[in-house]
Every structure is written in structure tokens, then in C-alpha cells.
Structure 1
């Protein structure tokens, strides 16, 4: 598989440009990353959202996608085993007592919208590139391998539930929080991992990552890799691969978040392998966002072997202590609804394109005194779990 960042790297590393100054390399990378917009929108959180023509998006810099014909919508959506099955998400934000909680929008929506035929892309700024260790590594995960049960992944720590088998997608609802992150190069997230073999993932969720975004906002993200994060893949649309079809959802865009003891904002995510085209589609709430073409993958071109759901933080161990970066709300699972972070109405998609509820979930919580997880089954929430914690505390020095 060719390097996905080849098109960025070439501005600084091939013979024709090897004598560019550092400033020229940054400007060349920005020109490549930021496609010419039809319209630009200034968000209340400081982002600039560029409305880029759908056929000019970064996906088509990938050599495998040069002649790709865009699929605007999937042919088939997953179906429920039983329309009255309460253990499968109904795409509603249902609270623990059965009442409805708030839907969410992205903050840039208050200042405008992108026209039909375009997609919204968060503009990469010069300071974004300068925060990274290198232009080539911008937007990529560092020092991490695919989270496997009973393994240690460098300075990444997890509280996750997972299941093994043959899968063609998953659906889950995640409530949104704004966790404290101690160091700019640490992050905190909640997400879904769709895993193929031991090398490939499709990932989607929310995160707080100052080192990538330059702030502490809670943001929607996607990620993918086909070689265990070694050379391929990146966050959002920072490299080619994911094809976006939606003009209302900005990958990397900010969300309003939940309040401890108060309003619970949540998002429902659905990722599935559409049987006819074999592409992996992403849906947020009722919005089809886009897809990962099957040609990007080997294992995932057939099916997934594991699904993971849960939280992840980076612990740099500054000063010889565990980080105080929060996972989720920063509270342990025992605090429960309106206080702890949750993932609920968990479903998996089988070979018949049917969405069913896993009744048994295995868990990984490698530092349970720092971050913990607690699973359950509920009439309104189906299969669910609470997870998270404050990081450094008296039991997590």
C-alpha cells in the first residue's frame, strides 16, 4: 500500500524540492492541505470552515482513488433483527429514565452553511503545522499500536469494551464531554474501533487534543490505518482516503458538551460495510457523512474481526507522575447517569446486514485506579457501559 502522506511529503523530501526553506515547506504543505474553497465560514470557536467542491476534496489525492466515482448514498442500511427490539438503538437520545435528551449541532453552523455540491473542511493553519514534530507526521497518531486485549500500548491507556467475531459494522451512542487534558501532546477521547486482523482500523468518535487542534474544544474525529499506524492513515481529512459526501458535518468540528448533573449531549454513530459496494459508510445521527472505499484495506475489505468501544488517553508521565488528564467526564463509572461518561445502545452488524445487540462484552482497563469501566444491560439503553476517571489521584500516583 502506498504511503498516504506521500503527496504531502513530496513538498519537502523529493529531489525537486529538497532545497526549500522551512518556511517554503510549510507554505507548500498548507497549499496542498487546504483545497480552494467555494465559500468560507468563520466559526464562533475560531475555526475557519472551507466549503470545498466535493470532487476537489483530499480523498482524490490518493493514487487508488484517482478515477473513483463518488457514491452519494449507500444502497442498503443495516436492518434491525426486530423493529421492537429495545436493545437496539432507535437513533434517539434517550435518557436513563426513558425521556429524551438534547441533540447536538456543530458550533460553526451558527454562522452559515456550505452549499450543495461542497463539503465542509476545517482549514489547516500555519500554527497547526508548526505545533507538530514534522510536516510528514501532521495529523497522524504517534507511538501507538492497535489496542489489543491484555497488551500494553506505549503511553496510551484504555478503558474499553470489545467483542470478537465476524462483523460488518457497529452502532452506538456516546455522550459528549470536555475532559481536562494536562499536556498539549496528550489527548482524551471516546470512540469506536472497527478492527481487521492486527493491522487495520476504522475509528470514529470525539476527542480533546490541543496538540492537533490548538485548543481544548471537544471535536468529532475519524481515523483509519491499514498498517498498524506505521505509515498510513491520519485524522479527519488531513490525508487522502475517506470520501465525504455531506455538506453539513465538518470532521474536526466542535460540539457543545454535557454538564455534570445537567444536560446530556450525545451523538449516535453508525459505521457499516455496505453489501453492494463493500465500502464502509459513516452515519452521524441521521446524517450520512461519507465512506472509506474498500480498496483501502485488505482485512477490512472482507470483514472486521473485532469491535472496540470506549475511552483512550495519552499519559506522558510528566515529572514521573501519572497524568491528570481526564477520561470521559473525569469521574469514575460508579457516579452513573449525568455524571459519568457512557456508551449505550451498542449494536453490531452481521453478514446479513442485520443490527443486533451483543449481550456479553469483554473489557480492558489496564489502569483501573486511574480509569475504569462498568458494563450492563438496560431496557432503554440495551447493552451499555460507563467508563472514565480523573487520571492521577491517591490510588493512581
Structure 2
């Protein structure tokens, strides 16, 4: 009888511990689940904090703000407070005065000049101007940051993962003319402006000048300027004036426009990142802009002009390694990013979206291609080589004549029967 009693007592004790353990496990499970919920609710809050911190870095106190008809806000920021001067190498400095332009600056190909042309941006329609002593900066909004695939890489091109510029695996595709037989100290060209269709919001299409030095591996230095359409970056399909730079092949340094510290703006008339208007019309009026990048022989900085006549600002030579001295290559042309969202080639267009064979009024072009030589003189870009990564998608044809100097037509529709 006593044995049976002890057995029953032991059994009851085991059941008690079993229930206690289960209860503890359940309590622990609820506690863990509560922590997971708390973590989940913290993530949006953390993202919001990061967004607010980034906006405070990018948007500086302004003395005046202009609301553009296209929804942009242009902030008139005191020139010495712009983002560039947050850079450790530039802190405490003020913008420099523009240097003299290169020799032969006013030389143009007969018939190729557009002396009456004026670069207009959408915000100019308000007829408001930024005061002297300020620079016109496009305001970055929370919506801009929320569209970005990564806050850490906001305002940067998708990284290339290859040592070859024309690598298919990188997603970047080009149709370009280039020179690489000398030391270069700048470049100049006119390009007509379009608004090519973008196949996926994460993709872009641009037309620009590249000034390059270093290898296409890890130490490539580039300076870039032109027009681009990028729904992810700007939230629309307008062609926008942009700048770019990198010192490590697009990996960790550099960015578009003022999205990181570096480019020093000196003008209150042009806002980098703002829409250009008007745009070229297929089989109709063509509108082009003139871009010039040149190295100041005295201080070594790389200056940018958006023609005719507006000096936009400069990239300080201290940002660079190879380009602190000179460029080894200059490229002109188009680039798209192909994310292959459906597994096939993107339908993102380059240039006008039409092949170069269609010619004037229909295809995109670069004309009057020039470079700046060792003597700080502008000369014709001779010995131009043409390269299209995928001619069935985007092609390039060029030549020389007395009207346009060195020129080429380029671009294409992207996905088509020759570009599956």
C-alpha cells in the first residue's frame, strides 16, 4: 500500500513539473513573440530616423524656396553652406571664382553654333530667381528616399561587378564614341535632349560626357555630366540635367548631383537634378544643350559649363587620385541600366528610342565633339572610336562634316526582334 502511495505521489509530481515546464515554455514563447513584434515595429521607426537624418544632411537651410510647376522645390542656399563643404577636405572653404575658359573656346564649326540658345529648366517658368550669393539646389524629399532600393546607396549608380566597362553581367549597356590616345584635360560637345521610355522604375537612360582615368576595376576615376531619365531617382519621366563622379569604379565613393559631398556649385541659375525643357520632338524641332568639362591649369579643379555660358561649378581635384593629374579617356554617348525585370532584355530606350540610321529629327545625336589638350586648348576629337555593347538593342553611327564637325547618332528601342 505504501509503495502504491509513493508511486502515485511520484506520478503526480512528474505531471506537475511537466505542466509547469509547458507553462513556462508558453510564457517564454509569448515573450519572444512580443519582442519580435516590438522589433518589427521598431524597424519602420529606425528607417524614419535614418531618412530624417539623411534629409538633414542633403537639404541645407535656404533663404528662399521656389516651387516648380513640375512639383520640385528649388532651395536657394547660401553658397558656403551647400553639402559639398561638409566634406572633410572642403570644410570651411568657400566656392572659387570660375577660371578662364580654355583657348579656342569660341571656335565653332560653321553652321554648328546656337548662339541664341538658352538652357531652360522647368522651375524657370515661375520667373523667380535665387539671390546672388546663393546656389539653386533641388530639394530631396522623403518620397525620393522611399523610392530608393537602398538608403545606403541612395543617389549612386548600381555598382559594376566586373573589370570590363562593357560587361553584360553588370546590367549597364552603352553606345559611345571615345578617344584614348592622349592625355586629356577636358571635353566639350552638344547633345539633343529626349525623354526616352523607361521599362522598369529601377532602370535609367542617360546621355553624357565621361572624363575617365584609372582602370575599370577598383580604382576608376570618372567625372560625368549630361541629361538622364530616372523614375527611381526623380519620381517622373522628365529629362534632367545631372552630374556624377566616383574614384573607385562606382563602389563606395561618388554620387549623382549633390547626393553626397563633393561637387561644388557656383551658379544660382541652374539647379542640378532639375528638369530640362523643352525636349526634342520626333520628326520635329530638335533641342540640344552644350556641355563642357575642363581642368583649371592653376588649381587643378575640374569645372563644368552648361552652355551657352553658365558655369555650374567644379569637382575639387582633391577628391580624385588619377584625375588629380589628367584623364586618359573621354567618352560621349548613351547608357542604360538593364535590370532584366522579366528575364528578357529591357524595353528601356536610349536616346530618342530610335536607331541611328533614322538620322536627323528622329535619332539622338552628339555633335561638335572636342577635347581639351595639354596646352589648355580646345581641339577637335579626332580618331574617335565607336562602340555599341549590343548593336541590336542600341547602336551608333558617326562621321565628320563641315557643319557638325565630329558627330554621331546613337540609341535604340531596347527589346525588339534583334534584341530579345
- Normalised TM-score (structure 2): 0.84
Instruction: Verify the 8 A CA contact 2:103 2:378 in the aligned structure 1.
Output: yes
Going from structure 1 to structure 2, the CA distance change for 1:369 and 1:147 (only over 3 Å counts) comes to farther
Going from structure 1 to structure 2, the CA distance change for 1:287 and 1:146 (only over 3 Å counts) comes to farther
SS class of match (2:63): strand
Q: Is structure 2 residue 55 aligned with structure 1 residue 30?
A: yes
Aligned to 1:179: 196
Unpaired segments of 5 or more residues in structure 2? Answer: 1-42
In the alignment, the residues of structure 2 paired with residue 86 and residue 154 of structure 1 have an alpha-carbon distance, to the nearest angstrom, of 38
Instruction: Verify the 8 A CA contact 1:359 1:377 in the aligned structure 2.
Output: no
Going from structure 1 to structure 2, the CA distance change for 1:141 and 1:242 (only over 3 Å counts) comes to same
In the alignment, the residues of structure 2 paired with residue 146 and residue 343 of structure 1 have an alpha-carbon distance, to the nearest angstrom, of 28
Aligned to 2:289: 267
In the alignment, the residues of structure 2 paired with residue 156 and residue 330 of structure 1 have an alpha-carbon distance, to the nearest angstrom, of 17
In the alignment, the residues of structure 2 paired with residue 48 and residue 207 of structure 1 have an alpha-carbon distance, to the nearest angstrom, of 19
Instruction: Verify the 8 A CA contact 1:35 1:58 in the aligned structure 2.
Output: yes
Q: Is structure 2 residue 143 aligned with structure 1 residue 122?
A: no
Instruction: Verify the 8 A CA contact 2:366 2:408 in the aligned structure 1.
Output: yes
Aligned to 1:45: 70
Alpha-carbon displacement from aligned partner over 1:112-167 (angstroms, at most 9, x marks no partner): 11110001111111111111122221101112269956544611110001110200
SS class of match (1:320): coil
In the alignment, the residues of structure 1 paired with residue 391 and residue 266 of structure 2 have an alpha-carbon distance, to the nearest angstrom, of 40
- Normalised TM-score (structure 1): 0.89
Aligned to 2:298: 276
Instruction: Verify the 8 A CA contact 1:103 1:266 in the aligned structure 2.
Output: no
Instruction: Verify the 8 A CA contact 2:166 2:174 in the aligned structure 1.
Output: no
Q: Is structure 2 residue 407 aligned with structure 1 residue 387?
A: no
Going from structure 1 to structure 2, the CA distance change for 1:341 and 1:29 (only over 3 Å counts) comes to same
Residue 326 of structure 1, aligned match among 349, 370, 374: 349
Q: Is structure 2 residue 261 aligned with structure 1 residue 245?
A: no
Alpha-carbon displacement from aligned partner over 1:9-30 (angstroms, at most 9, x marks no partner): xxxxxxxxx9972222211211
In the alignment, the residues of structure 2 paired with residue 107 and residue 340 of structure 1 have an alpha-carbon distance, to the nearest angstrom, of 24
Alpha-carbon displacement from aligned partner over 1:7-58 (angstroms, at most 9, x marks no partner): xxxxxxxxxxx99722222112111211011100000111000010000000
In the alignment, the residues of structure 2 paired with residue 308 and residue 270 of structure 1 have an alpha-carbon distance, to the nearest angstrom, of 13
Alpha-carbon displacement from aligned partner over 1:278-311 (angstroms, at most 9, x marks no partner): 1100000110111011111111110000000100
Residue 314 of structure 1, aligned match among 320, 334, 337: 337
Instruction: Verify the 8 A CA contact 2:159 2:251 in the aligned structure 1.
Output: no
Going from structure 1 to structure 2, the CA distance change for 1:63 and 1:146 (only over 3 Å counts) comes to farther
RMSD: 2.0
Unpaired segments of 5 or more residues in structure 1? Answer: 1-17, 95-99
SS class of match (2:276): coil
Instruction: Verify the 8 A CA contact 2:380 2:405 in the aligned structure 1.
Output: yes
In the alignment, the residues of structure 2 paired with residue 261 and residue 122 of structure 1 have an alpha-carbon distance, to the nearest angstrom, of 32
Aligned to 2:38: none
Larger-Rg structure: 2
Going from structure 1 to structure 2, the CA distance change for 1:156 and 1:132 (only over 3 Å counts) comes to same
Instruction: Verify the 8 A CA contact 1:146 1:228 in the aligned structure 2.
Output: no
Instruction: Verify the 8 A CA contact 1:145 1:229 in the aligned structure 2.
Output: no
In the alignment, the residues of structure 1 paired with residue 398 and residue 288 of structure 2 have an alpha-carbon distance, to the nearest angstrom, of 18
Residue 227 of structure 2, aligned match among 206, 226, 242: 206
Alpha-carbon displacement from aligned partner over 1:243-289 (angstroms, at most 9, x marks no partner): 10000000001012100111111100010001011110000011011
Q: Is structure 2 residue 93 aligned with structure 1 residue 71?
A: no
Q: Is structure 2 residue 109 aligned with structure 1 residue 56?
A: no
In the alignment, the residues of structure 1 paired with residue 146 and residue 300 of structure 2 have an alpha-carbon distance, to the nearest angstrom, of 38
Instruction: Verify the 8 A CA contact 1:344 1:385 in the aligned structure 2.
Output: yes
CA apart distance, 1:186: 0.4
In the alignment, the residues of structure 2 paired with residue 196 and residue 154 of structure 1 have an alpha-carbon distance, to the nearest angstrom, of 20
In the alignment, the residues of structure 2 paired with residue 354 and residue 147 of structure 1 have an alpha-carbon distance, to the nearest angstrom, of 32
Point out which structure has higher relative CO (alpha carbons under 8 A, 6+ apart).
1
Instruction: Verify the 8 A CA contact 1:205 1:220 in the aligned structure 2.
Output: yes
